[in-house]
Amino acid sequence: MPLTCSIAECKRTSCALCHCCQQDICLYHLKEHQQLLISQLDPIVDQINILENRASTLDIDHMIGDAREKLEVWRRDCYKKIDEFVEGKHQQLKQYADKKIDKQRKDIDQMRHKMIDIVQEQEVTRDDIDSLKFKIINLEKDMLRIEQTSFDILVQPTMVDDNLIRIQEANPYQLNLSSLSQVSKTIQCSKEKWAALATNETFLLMYQESNLCLVNRDFTISKKTVWSFGEIWDMFWSTILKRFIIINENSVFLIDENTMSIESIQMAAKQNWCCGTCSDKSLFLATYRRGSSIMEFNLLPTIEFIKHWKTPDTCSKDEGIHDMIYNNEQLFLIIENRVKRTVRVELKSSITFDRLWSLPLDSANHQNVQIRCCLFNDVDWIIAHHDLSCLLHITKNGKLKTAYSYTPAPHFASTFGSNLLIVATSKSVNLHRI
């Protein structure tokens, strides 16, 4: 016997099973259901049209603007380095030519003085005349060789391939250290107490076997120079000076990444420094003792003293500063209390030294705490906590986001551009890709 339509009060005979409601319904209500489904297409079409309009109005120039500007900055910097390099070679050419001409002038001067002596003494022999003529002949030959001198330039081809610049989509999310990649590359470098590391967008500066070494992003040493100024306490990059800054216990040095020249800076005050950092305008140096103070210096036009911040603005009289990082008119400080054997991090205003927040850290109660920090993702910090064998991710609002166990125990950590993390241990310097 035929079934009736499942719709209430409908007495018609069913003709089909509706797939959307799984009911037996008549032809009339089947068409009605179909019209209801078709009507639901209208808002979907509207949403597609909206998305299409949004896609057509996307501003490609805005999307790639920051990346394009970085490329332009890189290009201008390369042009500047090439101009400086070529100017240096111009000076070398001039020095070679000057050296040859100066020797000729000295020989001619000697001849002139010899003639003056002979004229004044009014005594001359045939041998003197022959000797003078012989020397003049030789001078004329030398002059002819100098006039015909030219220099050849042996130029190595500039290797520019597609791997020199890699394009990748920026990650707007912060890295969780629990997902840190395995070591990508490493430099073996055994040292019981690690000297500091410093990076800019192009190079890693490190100390290895009595040398300062510049390591490129392929993690190979591209330049090095002998370091003979004692133990390094800290090093960091100055964007405004375009120099690395190195401090040891009593001195401050500037390192040129192009020439690897080392320039000692005469500071107005003689102090025992332990660590430092810099903004675009100022250099901040902390003293190595209880009740650490921080001295601020202008960077340009010359490094000159501005202000001396002392306890209790910096820390209490029983405390010392282990490390500090500047960012956005703020100073991130690692502070140890040797009496209470506690360690904490603080964020202070670099202008007023008002404390913005403080976060206590676990301590292994060692007599000599080894703990250093670096800026991360432009707003957060990574702490290399050697005593606890871990890396700590501290957020901009003073919260511990992640504690990541690291073996061997880390001495230092530093970001290297936007996608690399450097970690130094007592055995090696390790490269991680982010």
Distance separating alpha carbons of residues 192 and 370, to the nearest angstrom:
12
Q: Which pLDDT belongs to residue 2?
A: 66
Strand runs (DSSP E) across 302-349, as ranges?
Answer: 304-309, 319-327, 330-337, 342-349
> In terms of residues, how long is the chain?
434
Q: Which pLDDT belongs to residue 368?
A: 66
Read off the pLDDT of each residue in 352-357 and give the average, rounded to a whole number. 94
pLDDT in tens, 158-181: 777 777 777 766 554 445 666 677
pLDDT at 81 exceeding the cut of 90: no
- Bond before 301 cis per omega within 30 degrees: yes
pLDDT in tens, 300-320: 888 899 999 999 999 999 899
Q: Which pLDDT belongs to residue 205?
A: 95
Distance separating alpha carbons of residues 105 and 96, to the nearest angstrom:
15
**What pTM was computed for the model?**
0.62
pLDDT in tens, 371-427: 899 998 888 999 999 888 999 999 999 999 888 899 889 999 998 877 789 999 988
Residue 213's H or E segment, with its range, is strand 211-215
pLDDT in tens, 260-297: 999 999 887 778 898 999 998 999 999 987 889 999 99
Assigned superfamily of 177-433: TolB, C-terminal domain (2.120.10.30)
Q: Which pLDDT belongs to residue 191?
A: 66
Residues in contact with 422: Cβ distance below 8 Å, sequence separation at least 6, in sequence order: 197, 199, 204, 412, 413, 414, 415, 416, 429, 430, 431, 432
Read off the pLDDT of each residue in 197-216 and give the average, rounded to a whole number. 91
Q: Which pLDDT belongs to residue 173?
A: 43
What is the pLDDT of the chain when averaged over all its residues?
85
Could you give the residue ranges of the DSSP H alpha helices within 247-372? none
Tokens of 117: 């002596």
Distance separating alpha carbons of residues 282 and 300, to the nearest angstrom:
8
More reliable by pLDDT, 374 or 144: 374
pLDDT in tens, 222-256: 999 999 998 899 999 999 899 999 998 889 999 99
Distance separating alpha carbons of residues 414 and 423, to the nearest angstrom:
7
pLDDT at 87 exceeding the cut of 80: yes
